[in-house]
Amino acid sequence: MRGWSFARASGIGTSAGLLAMLLWPFFRRFGGALTWPFAILAAIMGLCGLSILLVTLIDMLVRRRGARIRPLRGFDLAVGIAMVGLSLLQLQDVEGQLPV
């Protein structure tokens, strides 16, 4: 995962999440053509959240950190969990609307 970091995952995930949040009301009202873009943005946010959790877990297991870094790791975990949770909520709205 060379080149992939918390900063990159949080930036991409936050951008995708904000765009999905903007599309969500329109998707719920109109659906149709917005289904795929909304689903893709929500999935990207969820995958970025999972990668944040993975990068944080690997960092916690591999590196010995001091007491000053522990609150930052807690924040990283909260951001990752929030991204995954919101993505799951959004993708529940999409469930059953995607043509197979």
Tokens of 26: 């329109």
Count of other CB atoms within 10 angstroms of residue 27: 23
- For residue 13, pLDDT beyond 90: yes
- For residue 98, pLDDT beyond 80: no
- For residue 1, pLDDT beyond 80: no
> For 27-65, what is each residue's pLDDT tens digit?
888 878 888 999 999 999 999 999 999 988 888 888 877
Amino acid present at 20: A
Does the reported pTM lie above 0.75?
yes
Tokens of 58: 């690997």
Q: What mean pLDDT is predicted for residues 61-86?
A: 87
Tell me if residue 98 falls in helix, strand or coil.
Answer: coil
